[in-house]
Amino acid sequence: MTLGGKRILLIISGGIAAYKSLDLIRRLRDRGAAVRPVMTSGAQEFVTSLAVGALAADHVFTDLFSRQDEQDVGHIRLARDCDLVLIAPATADLLAKMANGLADDLASTVLLATDRPVVAAPAMNPRMWAHPATRRNIEFLRRDGIRFVGPMAGEMAESREAGLGRMAEPLDIVAAVETLLDEGPKPLLGRKAIVTSGPTHEPIDPVRYIANRSSGRQGHAIAAALAALGADVTLVSGPVTIADPVGVRTLHVERADEMRDAVLSALPADIAVMVAAVADWRVASAADQKIKKHPGESIPTLALTENPDILRTVGHHTLRPKLVVGFAAETEHVESNARAKLERKGADLIVANDVSSATGIMGGTRNTVKIIGHDGIEQWPEMDKNEVATRLASLIADRLRQE
Ligand code: C5P
């Protein structure tokens, strides 16, 4: 019951992603939260207030000028009698209203009147998300302290278009809410952390690239877990389809050299956790134009060259963080390879996992790791990647405390 006793005011605005809000209500309530729903008139075109009210087990507020609701609760009380305001889905229109302080319906009025933390899960067509007007609104809202979870990349529900604009998955939204309402100890307050996550894409030509199966789940979870302990976290992420963690500064990159530049620009830091599955090699000279297939001609050969080793660069840097943690994805000799890596990369800890195909760790949700340090090895049982992240974050906090 991570959200036991917490009161969430859930604003549902009018997008097709509103169907996911029904699942979101269940997930929030499963964790002990009380959910009080507000629906815009647009939202009621997509899901019924009957379904929302039944799942939330509360009255659904829809009308600014409802005499009964105003007498019973009132829009100002609605805005304040909660621990957090969550907007899911947050449409381009509602975000635009918020950015400009408009209050012409119940949802926008509540948002202008609230003094509680606000989390928004945007959902819209990729072109609307990319539009300069939306970019501007998001920038304003970020400066006003609004937190965002998502949107994610992927196919849109209403069209075959793909791109950034899908609402974050209900469980990612729940994780964001948990992070923000977490009142646990903050041993990493005042500490700066850099985390890398996901794969890198190394171009072959404008349409092809070399990649790997990394999902970014483990790295993103570690960034979130460090932030939950109070650290100021910069996450440098390769191309992934999962949402940026809440409460973390996320820089998006594609290639290994971009990832290195982003990591170095985030120094100095106290903690570096390099989780990304950086491609070891890139194509020596990526083609400017798509490489064409010509019948009868020989098959092209790709000449590769070595990528910068980001962990090693950080581990030997003049601004080396106090604690440098690397990952080792191995398919054999997991332990001895990890020990060698500790030395070569200048790391304090190596988190080693066996990614031989039978285990399905890469891209999966569970992980079995060994923590290898200069003073010994700890074997952890198989657990969820979020749990690995939480335990690793507290191990990092313990190490820094001992200094
Ligand atoms: O050498 P190997 O790729 O097995 O090392 C894995 C560790 O090194 C991981 O922590 C990974 O994030 C990091 N790494 C890196 N830059 C590279 C290759 C690996 O930061 N080019």
Residue with tokens 């977490």: 182
Q: According to the model, what pLDDT value does residue 158 have?
A: 63
The CATH number of whichever domain residue 113 belongs to comes to 3.40.50.1950
Question: Any idea how long the chain is?
Answer: 403
Q: Residue 251's closest CA among 240, 235, 264, 266?
A: 235
Ligand 1 close to Cβ of residue 276 (< 6 A): yes
Which of 140, 158, 181 marks a domain boundary? 181
Ligand 1 close to Cβ of residue 214 (< 6 A): no
Q: Are residues 168 and 200 in the same domain?
A: no
- 34-39 and 118-122 beta bridge pairing: unpaired
CB 162 within 8 A of CB 153: yes
Q: Is residue 66 assigned to a domain?
A: yes
Q: According to the model, what pLDDT value does residue 357 have?
A: 55
The CA 227 to ligand 1 mean position distance, Å, reads 23
Q: Residue 176's closest CA among 89, 110, 245?
A: 245
Task: Map residue 162 onto helix, strand or coil.
Answer: strand
Q: Are residues 164 and 200 in the same domain?
A: no
Q: Is residue 75 pLDDT above 90, yes or no? A: no
Q: Which domain, by its residues, includes 177?
A: 7-181
Q: Are residues 205 and 172 in the same domain?
A: no
Determine which of 99-113, 306-320, 362-376 has the lowest per-residue pLDDT on average: 362-376
Rounded distance between C-alpha atoms, residue 9 and residue 128, angstroms: 26
For residue 162, name the pLDDT band (cuts at 50, 70, 90): confident
Joined tokens for residue 386: 């979020």
In angstroms, the Cα distances linking 221 to 213, 387, 388 are: 17, 9, 9
The CA 216 to ligand 1 mean position distance, Å, reads 14
Q: Is residue 186 assigned to a domain?
A: no
Q: According to the model, what pLDDT value does residue 2 have?
A: 84
Computed over every residue of the chain, the mean pLDDT equals 92
Q: According to the model, what pLDDT value does residue 362 have?
A: 67
Q: Is residue 22 assigned to a domain?
A: yes
- pLDDT tens-digit readout, 22-34: 999 999 999 999 9
- 249-252 and 232-237 beta bridge pairing: parallel
- Cα–Cα–Cα angle for 277, 280, 285, rounded to 5 degrees: 125
Q: In terms of pLDDT, which residue wins out, 137 or 63? A: 137
β-sheet bridge partners, residue 39: 12
Q: Are residues 100 and 78 in the same domain?
A: yes
Q: According to the model, what pLDDT value does residue 273 have?
A: 98
Q: Which atom from ligand 1 is nearest to the alpha carbon of 350?
A: 10
Ligand 1 close to Cβ of residue 309 (< 6 A): yes
Q: Are residues 79 and 116 in the same domain?
A: yes
Q: In terms of pLDDT, which residue wins out, 355 or 174? A: 174
Q: Is residue 351 assigned to a domain?
A: yes
Q: According to the model, what pLDDT value does residue 288 have?
A: 93
Q: Are residues 126 and 222 in the same domain?
A: no
Q: Are residues 56 and 135 in the same domain?
A: yes
Q: Is residue 1 assigned to a domain?
A: no
Neighbours of 145 (CB within 10 A): 8
Which of 181, 201, 231 marks a domain boundary? 181
Share of the chain above pLDDT 70, in %: 97
CB 10 within 8 A of CB 39: no
Number of domains in the chain: 2
Dihedral sign from CA coordinates of 18, 22, 23, 26: positive
Rounded distance between C-alpha atoms, residue 132 and residue 159, angstroms: 22
Q: Are residues 284 and 383 in the same domain?
A: yes
- pLDDT tens-digit readout, 260-308: 999 999 999 999 999 999 999 999 999 999 998 888 888 889 999 999 9
Share of the chain above pLDDT 90, in %: 76
In angstroms, the Cα distances linking 175 to 36, 147, 178 are: 18, 13, 5
For residue 159, name the pLDDT band (cuts at 50, 70, 90): low
Q: Is residue 358 pLDDT above 60, yes or no? A: no
The CA 286 to ligand 1 mean position distance, Å, reads 22
For residue 204, name the pLDDT band (cuts at 50, 70, 90): very high
Residue with tokens 């840097």: 317
Q: According to the model, what pLDDT value does residue 19 have?
A: 97
Joined tokens for residue 225: 């877990």
The CATH number of whichever domain residue 321 belongs to comes to 3.40.50.10300
Which of 181, 201, 234 marks a domain boundary? 181
Q: Is residue 82 assigned to a domain?
A: yes
Choosing from 137, 212, 307, 386, which is the catalytic residue?
A: 212
CB 176 within 8 A of CB 246: yes
Rounded distance between C-alpha atoms, residue 366 and residue 384, angstroms: 4
Q: Are residues 141 and 246 in the same domain?
A: no
Q: What is the pLDDT averaged over residues 64-71?
A: 81
Rounded distance between C-alpha atoms, residue 120 and residue 280, angstroms: 37
Helices (H), 245-365: 256-266, 310-315, 334-345
Q: Is residue 239 pLDDT above 60, yes or no? A: yes
Distant-in-sequence, close-in-space partners of 190: CB < 8 Å, separation ≥ 6: 230, 232
Joined tokens for residue 276: 């990304």
From 261, 316, 327, mutation site for ligand 1 pocket: most ligand atoms within 8 A of C-beta:
327
CA dihedral 374, 379, 380, 385 (to 10 degrees): 60
